[in-house]
Amino acid sequence: MLSYRHGFHAGNHADVLKHFVLIQLLEYMGQKDTAYTYVDTHAGAGLYALDSGYASKNAEFETGIAPLWDRKDVPAALAQYLDLVKKMNPSGKMRYYPGSPYCANAVMREQDRLRLFELHSSEIKILSENFRKLDAHASEQGHRPTVRGKRVIISDGDGFESLKALLPPPSRRALVLIDPPYEVKDDYRRVKVCLEDALKRFPTGTFAVWYPLLHRQESRQFPEKLKRLQANSWLNVSLSISTPSPDGFGLHSSGMFILNPPWTLAATLKEVMPYLVSVLGKDKGAGFVLESGDGPVTGKR
């Protein structure tokens, strides 16, 4: 059942969209002194090698981080994301790509808390080991370790179910990323049910959902179902890099749906999304959609 390994897709165009938006959300959360909690329901391995192993097989990073690597005209907001990835590669060569837990850990402050969940037995072992290495490096540099203690807790568990016990957090401030593999159709239903429960427990929380845009009906209907959730506000952004293939295979589009987004995010996306389309787009099918309760903004290459 649990066969999905994100390493095959690390650094692709969907990761660029997801992690760019995630960093914007985290930066906004950090503007207030009060600590906040970041919850990652499907954390993965945390860090991925691009020049070996799973990522090198399909080289999907060539559709995402690679075209951005040497660009000198990157918008400031997107540069925050790119700089974070480059800090993971001090040699200057594009070798490692950070997953959501690493992105969050790099942006968050000492007083903030990370709660990371992963069910895949191999992935959680790698995730734990990667954070242990972060601790060792911090100690070598004379910094306080991040994992030991309460700041980062890594759990082998179902993120959908485990989220219930964490809401509302003690500080009443939280960002939740829900990013399942969508290998099975039921993931779409589980995301919606999870959010319905989460909004009842913590209606002011910020919830970010990554989703693929595929031919299957569940995928196409998914954003419309999320719009009907009882949240104060929502924002939906999707990026397409090419026209869908006739056979329906391959991921050409993905989206991020944010419930209770920061008021600044829409303006940032209006600036950055046309740039991503221009750099990552492969044909006339490339484009983006940005919409909220206030109306849509659509762009093509």
- Please identify every residue annotated as catalytic: 179
Phi and psi angles of residue 245, each rounded to the nearest 5 degrees, phi first: -70, 150
* Cis peptide leading into residue 212 (ω within 30°): no
C-alpha of 88 from chain center: 17
Rounded to the nearest 5°, which phi and psi values hold at 107?
A: -90, -35
User: Which residue in 95, 92, 102 sits closest to 133, CA to CA?
Assistant: 102
Quick one: 196 exposed, middle or buried, by C-beta within 10 A (0-12, 13-18, 19+)?
exposed
What is the b/e burial string over 151-189, where b = at least 16 CB atoms within 10 angstroms of the residue's CB? bbebeeeebbebbeebbebeeebbbbbbbbbbeeeebbe
Cα 112 to chain centroid distance, Å, stands at: 18
Cβ pair 156, 118 in contact under 8 A: yes
Angstrom CA distances, 177 to 163, 202, 226, 269, 294, stand at 11, 14, 14, 18, 23
